[in-house]
Structures are given as structure tokens and as C-alpha cells.
Amino acid sequence: MMKSQSKMEKKPRARDLGIPFDGTNGPLNAITDVQGIEVGHTTLISGNGKLVVGKGPVRTGVTAIFPLGKKSADPVFAGWHSLNGNGEMTGTTWLEESGFLEGPIMLTNTHSVGIVRDSIIEWQTKHHMGGELWSLPVVAETWDGFLNDINGFHVKKSHVFAALDKAISGPVMEGNVGGGTGMICFEFKGGIGTASRKVQIHKENYVVGVMVQTNFGRRQQLRIAGAPVGAEILEHTIKPKGTSSIIVVVATNAPLLPHQLKRVARRASLGLGRVGSIASNYSGDIFIAFSTMNLKATKSPSVVDVTMLSNNELDPLFEATVQATEEAIVNALIAAETMTGRDGNKVIAIPYDRLKQVLKKYKRLAEATNSS
Amino acid sequence: MMKSQSKMEKKPRARDLGIPFDGTNGPLNAITDVQGIEVGHTTLISGNGKLVVGKGPVRTGVTAIFPLGKKSADPVFAGWHSLNGNGEMTGTTWLEESGFLEGPIMLTNTHSVGIVRDSIIEWQTKHHMGGELWSLPVVAETWDGFLNDINGFHVKKSHVFAALDKAISGPVMEGNVGGGTGMICFEFKGGIGTASRKVQIHKENYVVGVMVQTNFGRRQQLRIAGAPVGAEILEHTIKPKGTSSIIVVVATNAPLLPHQLKRVARRASLGLGRVGSIASNYSGDIFIAFSTMNLKATKSPSVVDVTMLSNNELDPLFEATVQATEEAIVNALIAAETMTGRDGNKVIAIPYDRLKQVLKKYKRLAEATNSS
Amino acid sequence: MMKSQSKMEKKPRARDLGIPFDGTNGPLNAITDVQGIEVGHTTLISGNGKLVVGKGPVRTGVTAIFPLGKKSADPVFAGWHSLNGNGEMTGTTWLEESGFLEGPIMLTNTHSVGIVRDSIIEWQTKHHMGGELWSLPVVAETWDGFLNDINGFHVKKSHVFAALDKAISGPVMEGNVGGGTGMICFEFKGGIGTASRKVQIHKENYVVGVMVQTNFGRRQQLRIAGAPVGAEILEHTIKPKGTSSIIVVVATNAPLLPHQLKRVARRASLGLGRVGSIASNYSGDIFIAFSTMNLKATKSPSVVDVTMLSNNELDPLFEATVQATEEAIVNALIAAETMTGRDGNKVIAIPYDRLKQVLKKYKRLAEATNSS
Amino acid sequence: MMKSQSKMEKKPRARDLGIPFDGTNGPLNAITDVQGIEVGHTTLISGNGKLVVGKGPVRTGVTAIFPLGKKSADPVFAGWHSLNGNGEMTGTTWLEESGFLEGPIMLTNTHSVGIVRDSIIEWQTKHHMGGELWSLPVVAETWDGFLNDINGFHVKKSHVFAALDKAISGPVMEGNVGGGTGMICFEFKGGIGTASRKVQIHKENYVVGVMVQTNFGRRQQLRIAGAPVGAEILEHTIKPKGTSSIIVVVATNAPLLPHQLKRVARRASLGLGRVGSIASNYSGDIFIAFSTMNLKATKSPSVVDVTMLSNNELDPLFEATVQATEEAIVNALIAAETMTGRDGNKVIAIPYDRLKQVLKKYKRLAEATNSS
């Protein structure tokens, strides 16, 4: 019942439908455009019909993001920000203090954060990837209880290990996969989304990659490419009890220090602003940013050389973060497919035809471009 | 030299031009829709031609916002947030610690923050409005050095007193007034803007009022009502050296506690996201929110009764904050007039005809509505 | 092998030995002097000799603190602070955002935070104590890998349930119990400690109770009652690889708002200063404070009445927090007993005779007083 | 009227009296042991008798600290922390965002922060030391209204310029000088104090220097070298209405990044804990730390090389900060002289004989050592 990650159907992405975005994306238009990053998903879909706690139906999963790939235990500089903290991201206290992210980031459902956290430590000690002494893993979540038997605790250690072990570079599966499996976004089906931007600063080329697990927003609020899409597509809205949230992971190969990465993380707020978010009280809108440079920073016993992009040069990276966050959210919506879960609860995918209709009305339907 | 506040020409506001906004504004569509608030401006415009430091030309001023009117020294609950801290807002350390705003908020140019701060204390002690023992005033700024002789320190104590003394309720002057006199926004003339929203929560009516001093943004980034206005009106762009910034003041009569007001302040970020901000490294994007309720909170010697709106009911206020921030920024752009300042530097007002053209193209030009 | 909590031997506490402290303690000199608080420990001690990961030896446990007792799911106002964040306290992002602590606080070892967190949710849903929709539990940790098979993950769901189910009011076990079982403090055996202070503010009586899980400090740094105790008792020092930490839980029945409780939490730093802490890079010094008043704050659908102690009256509570933190740390040292754990690693209890000798030398040995 | 800085009487310092401290001080036992730092004071003492606002008596001043000397406009990495924010330190929002301190730090009285701030900008533009475009100076304060005509605004631009112009390396005047002129500490006369520590990390030598402006504490709370000095010297206590505060400036030549300097700043809390502080509600306990290394960090247009001390090596610097903060506070007490100010208000210097008596009683009087 664990859907294979290799079964990567060719689905359109937002740009394929003609949705216009600012900026220039990388070759994969994905977080993996930042070299070294590996992503793995375990997707858990089983059962139908009435909820029996512990039995299902199951619509959940877990996603792993390795900043430097699963073979590296090197820490990377990182920062985080909470736009609205109705959620959990473990490990942030140490990340804030030390300036380092010391392992993978994992995404799952709200009630499986603990098992994922401890399983990372076990995986790390088993593979001698840190954790032998101690580890403070970073695990974030959004809530999938409208579709998933969230109190059945269906994510197990083996699922966590699988997501870690299978993490790969290259194209990233989006939509109903991994931690995003049972998620809802603007009352459409949501889930995992990703995007990237290329920027040039004084002749140096950098990439910003973003991955989101989307589970937020009221229909009426949705704006795509500036058009009031949500207000125009009001059919099949739902009112799930429970929280809505979005986790944003921003990666870059630009040499940023921890305090600069905190600034980058904060820019995800502006990408959310563009799609119409109000950062609801019920939403865990939590962002993390890391840089894959400066890997020597913890290696030496004492003083190490690091490089730093001047504050004066950060604007292109800030802009790229805003743009890629916006696009990653829309990509999640476009990739996600209609899903029926517990108690027959059904969440529809955003209907492409209606979406294109609205965008056309507002002169926001571009010629389709190929993003990958 | 000091432009009279009473000379309030009837200029159109954003809604008058047919720009559509979400939500329902209050009668004045201004921060003063929150009862008790009084606003005063001192506008300093003099001289022309080449900059002679200390002589001018002068294009600056100072704006005062009294949460409870100039006759009250009562503190109000407050919170603040910095989206990008390339700016100054004095008094925030105590505001964060105590949860209280203990006097007016004043807005001015970057290099006049000090004189304004100390002058508030003198005004307070003179009028027995706090400060006899000690005072930690809240003064924020944006940078007007492209048009103004900012190193001439033209804001004097008398100008500060005038803005305080003349503060009134009712309609608020916008555009090239007070602290906003010499400001630039998306490479158009910017300045002061305001807007409000009415919300109903369990049959109780509340108001959210926003006032902004806008001095941020690159032309290309500007979005109005979701339409890519900046990308379509590329004439007369400028490249001022120096910082760009926006101060956002959010007021409400909803009974919010300090930590809730911090949450409200943070929502201004999403309003900035809507108009296209990337929160540039050079921008001091600093927000403050206060509630005019709970005035007994510091009165009693010991335990006081306060009221608190449940966290679960905050979404309408969050949405109102996002919407009113967006509209206040656009109102600032609409109200500001073309200005020529030091060394002949000229910044054009956003051209109404071109703007309406663009909005029409993107089907975002509504029937004009009367906002006041 | 789970040591019964009822087997409460009569051990001396710091005051019984004649160590002088400032302030007036409550009847139990424990966090449970704040009415309603219940504490439960599960202590896991088994095996001896060489470490076999997964087999033991086991020297660990878990401790539960219910702000309002295990029968109440009501949230309480809370705040937190990290003096040095080399540690984990889950749930803090929502606590900071909402101002509420919505369940028990649990303490355990670093690598068992996850199982404890998810088990709380399961316990809550089982008992209809919150969590049916979602829950973001607060679990903190310190590292016991010098004595305990920490990578054996010996804390199980049943142990978590036991600590929750057995939580009681009344005297609190200290030393080698619960989450404190395998902890080390100033290279002496550490663990759980507690203390309280009574304060009167305008004729109202309040209590401040503190509980600590101590696992920090180098011997040389230890000061007790101002005397350089560590520098004088240099025998049997150890150099554990791994982190050292202290979790401080501050409780009060004074009606404080969330931002005020954050201030209280921050005062634990000063208690640590008194005993000689430098807040080592390796230390997770994380503090949480809550108030048992204002229980209506989340009950009503909309506007609720809460009470607030004036900022001007907080000093006695701040002082009580500093004093009780200092004493709780010393109580942990006094209560803890010599322990031998994995690989024969041995940590001695602070020797009473030597301690009294030193205190006497520095004129800091008072007549013994009875603290309970 | 302005006391000459050169008139440096040979007064004993804390170590000269035999007060024992941990750690090894630098040659000057002053912040100026960190190479490049220059300090300047302007001391304003005039008038006697009854307060006439605007006339005096005057007991105030201003102190300047240049991280790299007054000839350098180079920014330095910096961080800050507020233990209790009942005070002002301007410029912290940009310091937090950028990671840089971009000019001198100045200390003055609460109501003169503004004039000092704007005067720094004028001085900077005049000397082409930054500020031509914009500047966000760092100015902190404590309250001297018990002795000084604080609402007379006696600090003028010329006094600010004088402190800046006269800043020098070498020994630092302590006690009733500069910003510390009218300050009170534990109800004894307080003011400026300084101390330093030498640390060796992997054969590299570093210095930590601390300067404080002390104005905090109730007599009863004072602990020196762990002895309850305040509780033993209860004569001549006072109850000033108004705030009490302490500003701590920590400097080092160790190559620390901004987020590490924030950690260093936070350690000042532990130094305060050692002398008995409870961080009163009325106290502005605000700390700033900077590193004089990494001066290239803002020079290049794009990517710059910086060096970073590993987090794992920070403990000696943390310990040095705690120790030097403790000693700088005691040095301020020892250096300050009895002062009579407005309305005949009198604050006594800590009496050396009584102090030595108490220390001797508690076996904490060492052989006098020479600190400079």
C-alpha cells in the first residue's frame, strides 16, 4: 500500500497550464535544483469508509529532505520563522541557538511528529550519521484528520526509514505524496509542491529551491497570479474541523549565514500573501531555510573560514524566495488529485478547466511553458 | 511653510477610482474609524534647487497618532513585529516587555527620530501626560533623502509639538503630509495612507484601522488588486540611493491582549505580500498594533479585570488587517502628488489614467465606490 | 523495575542540611504548593555492566506535570524562554503564538521526546482530554547517555501513560526519579528538584512553585548559597561526552498574562546565575512558566473576562522565581543518590559532610530548618 | 562644567580591595583590553539644591564606545539581548536584522537618548564616518532622575561630540562619569564600570571586555563574591521613584558571527544573577555584544570571507562574559563616589571598610591584587 515513488506519472504543473509566474525557474523547477538535496516520500493510502481509530482509512505519509543527500551528516547553516505558530517544528530551539540544521527535515501529520523524530535518531545512529551522542531532529507537520485516521498513528518507524533510505535527487513528486498525502489547501486537495528560481548576483549563479506541504486557506481567499480564483470557483467547498497549515522549506546554494537565512525564511510570508493567505489562527505557518554552502563550518576544532554573501546583495534571493514559495503552493494545488478519505470525506482537486477559465477572464493565462 | 492640515482638498481615494478591495470599510475608511484615535501632521515643504545641507530643500515632516486622543495618557495594550528591520522604531523594547504602548506613536524621517523622541517627553511632562518620571516614546521613520535635505535636521521641537497639539479625529490627510511628505513608493510618490475594516464577531462589531507611511518597493513589483500594475507602467522610474521602508500602524477596538496584538502586527506582512513587496534588505518594514480597549489594565494598584477576545475568533481581525494594510498602501499612492525636491529630484504621482487602463485590462476596475 | 512513587523515603532536603535560602517557602516547598498541580514519575532502572544498545543498562524515565491536575483539559496561560537552546521543548511554537499551555508538561531523556509526545496525544484522545482533533504536546528533555542506554529507546508508551495516570498532588519525589533518573549536575548526581515561595502582594497571597530537571554544570562552577562549593569539592569529577541541560518549570497562581509569564520564565536565568551556571554551549537551558488562574480564558465562544496582575507588582514574583529556581537546583543535588550506570560509569551524590564543611567555612551553614 | 577625562585619579578597583573574582583579567581589566576600542566620556555636574526643571542641578553625561576607534566607520558583527526591557537601546532592530553594529555605542540618561542619537548622525556625516545616506545609531540609557534634572534635557549636541571626539584607548574612567554620572546601584552610588578576561582556545588568545552602566538593584539583594553584602550593609538605603537599569556592552576579538554574539550578550544575565539581580520590572537590563574581527564582512560587493569560532569552543567566552560582567558591576560600585544631587538627594558610595568587613566575615576577602 506504500505507493512507489518511481511511479511518477507525467502530470502538468502550474506553468504547463499557462499560469504566469515571475522569475526564472531552474531545470527541475524543484527544491532539488539546489545541488545535493535529496527528497524521499513514503505515502500511506489504505482503507475506505467509516473511521475506526487505529484501523483507518489511512491517508497520510512522511517526507524527508536531506540538505546534502542521505550520505552526508554534515550540518548546514539554517534559520527559521513562524508566521503563525499553530503547529510543530521540532528542533528549532537548537537550530536558532546554533545556526545549524544537523540532519534531514521531515514532514508528516500532526500526530506522528514524535515517531518520526525518534526514528530519525535511530536511523542516524544505525548509519553513523550523527545521533550516537545526541540528536535534536527537525520534524514539522500539518493536520490531515479530515481525510486520515490521524489518531490511529499509522506512520511507523519503517515508513520513516523508507522515506530516508529512498531519498533521491532529481524531479520531486508533488501532490498526494509523503507528508502531503491527506492535505487540503484552499478547500481543494493540497499536498506537496515545489519550485525553484535561478538568480545571478555579480556574475555568480545561485539557486533558490522551495518545497511546501500545503494545508491552509479558505476557498474565498485564493488568488493565483493575482486573479481572485477562489472567489470564482466556489463549488465543493468544505469546512474541515481542525487546523490548517503550511510548512515551507527554502534551500539555497548561496553562502548565507544563519541570521541571513532567518531573513530568507521570513520572506515565505510574502509568498503566502500573494496567494491570499491571512495566516489563520488555526494555521501552523512555519518556515525553515538553509544553505548548502559553508560545509566546513563545524569541521575544524576551532576557527573556520566561511563565506558570506553581503547583506546588500540579498534582494534577488528574497525575491526568488517569494516567487518560488508562491509557485510551489500553486504547484501543490495543480498536482494534487481528488481524494476520498475517512467517513467518505471528499476533497476535490482544483478543476483545471475552471481555473483556466478564470485566469483567462483576468488576462492571466499565459501561453503554456514547460517547467521541467 | 507649514502646510495647514485644514486645507484638506477633496482628492479621490483608491475606491473612488474603482480599485476593488475585499471587505467592508468603516465610515472614514481610516484609522480614525477606531474611536478615540487622533492624528496630527506637521508638513515641512520649503526651498527648491540644489541641496545645501542645513538649508534645504526641505520635504519632510512628522505625524502623531494618539491611540486614545491627545487628552489621555492611558497606556493601551500593544504588540509589534519587524518584517525587515532596516529601520528604527524606538520604544519597542519596553512595548514588548510590558505589553503596553504608553503614549502617541510618531512617524518622521530617519534622521529626525531623536528630536521627535525627546520632544514627545518634553510635551508629556509639560502637559502632565506621562514622562514626569520617565518615558520611552515610540517613534518610527522612513527615509526621505532623495527629496529632502535629510542631513539638515529640519524637524524641530516646535514641529513635533504642533503635530501633537493639532491631532484630531475625523478624516485623515493622506499622501505628501506629515512624516510621509518626502516618501517614495514603488518609484511613485508615496507617503501617508490609511484604511479601515468593519468586522462582526458573534454579533459584536469591531473596527480595524490601519495607517501606513510608505516608502518602499521597486516599480516592477507593484501589484494592485492582483494586477501587475508596476510591470505595465514603467515610465519615470527612479533609483534612489538609500533605504526604502514602510511603517504600518494597526489599531482596533477589539479587546486583544499584547501577545494577540503581536499576531495582528505580523499580518501586515501579508498585506505587503499582496502589493508585491519582497521586503528588501534596504527596507525597514516595521509594524505596530494596539487595542483601545482594556484601559483599566494599568490603573489599579494590583489585580485588574481585562477582557480578551478568544484566539478562536481572531481570523476576521487578521483578514481585516491584511485587507486594510493593502488598501492603505494603495491609498497612499493615490493621494500622493508629484513632487520635486533636492537637486531637482522628481518623483511622479501614480498616473490615474494609466492605472485605470491597466486595471481595466486585467478586469480589475470596479465601478467607483465612495469610501468616505 | 519501575520504582514505585509511593516508596517515598524520608531524605533530607537542602534546608534540612542547613543551607540558607532567601524567601519564604510554601508548606511542601514544592511546585505542588500551587494548588491543582499534579506530578507523576515513571522511573526506569534496570541492568548493569557493559552497554548493549537496546538491552541497557537503563537509567531513565519520564515525569508529568499537570497544571490543573490530570482530570482537567483546560488550557492555562503560559510563556517560555531559552537561555541556551541546546535542547528540545516541543510545543513551544504554539505556546508562544497562543499564549496557552494545553495539557501536561512532560520531561524525559533526549532521545525519547518523540514517543512521549505522541503518547500524550494518545492518552488525551483515550481520556477525552483534548487531542481528539489535534494536540501539540509540550515535552522537554535532558541527556542521560552517560548512565543510560539512551539509544536503546527504553521509554515506552506504557511508561508515559503510567506517569500521567499516577500524577498526584502533595510532596514531590526528587533526585533519581522520572525524567531525572540518569541526570548529572555539576558532575554530581542530579535529577529532579523542586521548591516554592510564598509572596504577598497588596494583601493577596500567591505561590510560585518551581520544578527542575538538572543535568548541567562543571564542578568548578558550583556555588551554593554563594559559597564556592564546587571549587572546594573537586574529588570524583567526570567528563561525560554529550550535552548538559536544565529544564525549569515555573508555576504560579498569580493571574499573569502570557507575556508576563514569558518574563517570569526568563528569570530562571538568574537562579542559574546564582548557582554558577555559564549556560554552556552544550546545555539546553529551557524554561516554561504557567499560571493556574484565568481558566475561563478559552471557554467562551468570544469575549472572556480575565484578570491580570499589574506589571508594577511583578517584582515579588520575579524574586520568588529566582529564589525557588536556585533552591530547586540545590534540592535536586541533595536528593540525588550515587548511581552506577552503563559501562560502570559512576556519578557520586554530593557528599553531605563535605558540603557542610565548605558551607561552614564560608559562614553559610544555617541552623537546619524544616522545609516540609 | 565638563569634567576633564584626563583628570584620572588613582582610585582602588575591586581587586585592589581584595575582592576575589574568577578568571584572568587583561592588562587594563577594561573593555579597552580588546584592541581598537576607544571610550570617551562627557560628564556634566553643576548646580546644587532644589530642582528647577531646565536649570538643574545637573548630574548626567554621555559615554561613547567605538568598537574600532573613532577613525573607523567599519561595521562589526554584533548581537543583543534584553533581560528586562524597561529601557531603550535604539538601533537594535537593524542590528538584529543585519548582524552589524555600524558605529559607536553611546550611553546616556533616559530622556537624552534622542539628542544623542541624532547628534551621532550629524557627527558621522560631518566626519564622513557613515550616515551620509542614512544611519541608525545605537544609544542606550539608564535613568538618573533621582540626582539629575532629567527633564531639563541638559545633554546637548556639543556634549555628544565631545565624548566622540575625545574617545581614547587605554584605561577607562569608572564611577561617576559619562552616562553613569548620576546612576545608582543597589542603593549605593553606581555608574560606569569595566573589566576584562583573557581566554585561550586551542592556543589562540582572545579577550572579552565588558563595560556597564549600572543603575539597578535593591540593597538587600546585593551579593559580592557570593557574600550577602547588601543584607549586611543596610544603612543609608534609598527608595528612588523611577526606573533602575543596567546596560552591558560586551566586546571580544574572537571571530564570532552575529548569532553567536547574541548568545554572548545573553550571558550577561548570569553575571547579573551572581550579584543578586532579579531583573526588576522597572529595570532596563539590555545587553549588546560585538566582535572586532571580520572587518571585511561588508567591504566587498558580493561574497566575503569571514572566520568563525566553532560553537563547540564558545564556553570559555561565555564564562569570561559572566565573570567580566560580574566584576564590571562591582568595579562600578567601587569607583563611584558619594553624590548629592537635586533636592539634596544623596546617594552614598559603598563604604570600603564595611564591605571588607563583610567579605572577611564570609571568608571572601582575598589578598589585594593589582588589576591594572
pLDDT in tens, D118-174: 999 999 999 988 877 899 999 999 999 999 999 999 999 999 999 999 999 999 999
Please give the pLDDT value at position D242: 66
For testing contact with chain D, the best of C224, C256, C274 (most D CBs within 10 A): C274
Of the pLDDT bands very low, low, confident and very high (cuts 50, 70, 90), residue A300 is: low
- Say whether residue A87 is in contact with chain C using an 8 A CB cutoff: yes
| Contact: B322, A267; criterion CB under 8 Å | no
> Tens digit of pLDDT for each residue in D291-301?
999 887 776 67
The Cα C45–Cα A325 span in angstroms is: 49
C-alpha–C-alpha distance, residues A167 and B266, integer Å = 35
Q: Give the nearest chain B residue to A360 (CA atoms).
A: B362
Q: How far apart are CA A244 and CA A185, in angstroms?
A: 8
The DSSP H or E segment spanning D323 is helix D315-335
A5 pLDDT higher than 60: no
**Res. C7: pLDDT tops 70:** no
| C-alpha–C-alpha distance, residues D209 and D321, integer Å | 8
Chain D window 163-222: which residues touch C at a Cβ cutoff of 8 Å?
221
Using alpha carbons, list the distances in angstroms from residue C343 to B301, C58, C215: 59, 11, 19
What's this model's pTM, rounded to 2 decimal places? 0.96
Residue C371 has pLDDT above 60, yes or no: no
- Tell me how far apart the alpha carbons of residues B77 and B258 are, in angstroms, rounded to a whole number: 5
Q: With 90 as the cut, is the pLDDT of residue B163 above it?
A: yes
Contact list, C278 vs chain D (CB under 8 Å) = 267, 270, 315, 318-319, 322
| Secondary structure element (H or E) that encloses residue D275, with its range | helix D258-275
Q: Which of B274, B311, B325, B327 to mutate to test the interface with A (most CBs of A within 10 A)?
A: B274
Whether C87 and A96 lie within 8 Å, measured CB to CB: no
Q: Which one, of B243, B183, B234, B256, lies nearest residue B213 by Cα?
A: B183
Tens-digit pLDDT profile for residues A316-367: 999 999 999 999 999 999 999 999 999 999 999 999 999 999 999 999 998 6
% pLDDT > 90, chain A = 89
Q: Check whether C3 has a pLDDT greater than 50.
A: no
Cell of C323: 529564589
Cβ under 8 Å to C: A residues 125-154: 125, 131-136, 143, 145, 150-151, 153
Decide: B319 and A281 in contact? Cβ < 8 Å.
no
Q: Centre a 10 Å sphere on the Cβ of residue B337 and count the other Cβ atoms it contains.
A: 13
Q: Which three cell numbers stand for residue A270?
A: 510574502
CA B194 to CA B203: how far, in whole Å? 26
pLDDT at B1 over 50: no
Going along A115-253, which residue ranges are E strands? 138-142, 184-185, 188-189, 192-201, 204-215, 244-252
Residues of A in contact with C128 (CB under 8 A): none
Contacts of residue A158, defined as CB under 8 A and 6 or more positions apart, other chains included, come to none
Model confidence band, residue C366 (pLDDT cutoffs 50, 70, 90): confident
Q: At C9, is the pLDDT very low, low, confident or very high (cuts 50, 70, 90)? A: low
| Close Cβ partners of B203 (under 8 Å, ≥ 6 residues apart) | none
What mean pLDDT, rounded, does chain B reach?
94
Please give the Cα distance from B178 to B174 (Å, whole number): 9
Q: Measured between beta carbons, which residues in chain B are less than 8 angstroms from residue A273?
A: 269-274, 322
Residue D6: per-residue pLDDT:
44
Contact assignment for D132 to B151 by CB distance below 8 Å: yes
Q: What are B266's three cell numbers?
A: 505580523
Query: And the C-alpha cell for D25?
Result: 583579567
Q: Which of C182, C117, C175, C120 is nearest to C150 (CA)?
A: C182
Query: Is it true that the peptide bond before D57 is cis, omega within 30 degrees of 0?
Result: yes
- CA dist A15 and A366 (Å) reads 8
**Residue B372 binned pLDDT confidence (cut-offs 50, 70, 90):** very low
C139 vs D369 pLDDT, higher one = C139
Is pLDDT at D2 greater than 50 in this prediction? no
Question: Measured between CB atoms, does D272 come within 8 Å of chain C?
Answer: yes
What is the C-alpha to C-alpha distance for residues D54 and D191, in angstroms, rounded to an integer? 23
Asked, as a colleague might, if the bond just before C57 is cis with ω within 30 of 0, I would say yes
The reply to whether residue B298 touches residue C313, judged by beta carbons under 8 angstroms, is: no
Complex ipTM? 0.95
Q: Does residue D82 carry a pLDDT above 80?
A: yes
Is the confidence at residue B369, as pLDDT, over 80? no
3-state secondary structure chain C: CECCCCCCCCCCCHHHHCCCCCCCCCCCCCHHHCCCCEEEEEEEEECCCCCECCCECEEEEEEEEECCCCCCCCCEEEEEEEEEECCCECCHHHHHHHCEECCCEEEEEHHHHHHHHHHHHHHHHHCCCCCCCCCCCEEEEECCCCCCCHHHCCCCHHHHHHHHHCCECCCCCCECCHHHCCCEECCEECCEEEEEEEEEECCEEEEEEEEEEEECCCHHHCCECCECHHHHCCCCCCCCCCCEEEEEEEEECCCCCHHHHHHHHHHHHHHHHHHCCCCCCCEEEEEEEEECCCHHHHCCCCEEEEEEECHHHCHHHHHHHHHHHHHHHHHHHHHCCCEECHHHCEECCCCHHHHHHHHHHCCCCCCCCCCC
Q: Please give the Cα distance from B35 to B48 (Å, whole number).
A: 40
Among D96, D298, D308, the residue with its CB nearest the CB of A310 is D298
Task: Answer for the pair D136, D90: CB distance below 8 angstroms, yes or no.
Answer: yes
Whether residue A172 contacts residue A30, with contact meaning beta carbons closer than 8 Å, is answered with yes
Residue A92 has pLDDT above 60, yes or no: yes
User: Is B343 noted as a catalytic residue in this protein?
Assistant: no
Q: Are A41 and A177 in contact (CB under 8 A)?
A: yes
CA distance C334 to chain A (A): 27
**Inter-chain touch C279–D266, beta carbons under 8 Å:** yes
C239 exposed, middle or buried (CB, 10 Å; 0-12, 13-18, 19+)? exposed
Residue A342, Cβ density class (10 Å: 0-12 exposed, 13-18 middle, ≥19 buried): buried
Cβ atoms within 10 Å, residue D198: 16
Rounded to 5 degrees, φ, ψ at A316 are -60, -35
Put residue B149 in one of left, alpha, beta given phi > 0 → left and psi -120 to 50 → alpha: beta
- What is the torsional sign of CA D166, D168, D173, D176? positive
Give residue-wise pLDDT tens across range A173-204.
Answer: 999 999 999 999 999 999 999 999 999 999 99
Contact A84, A285 (CB under 8 A): yes
Rounded to the nearest angstrom, the minimum Cα separation between A53 and chain C is: 10
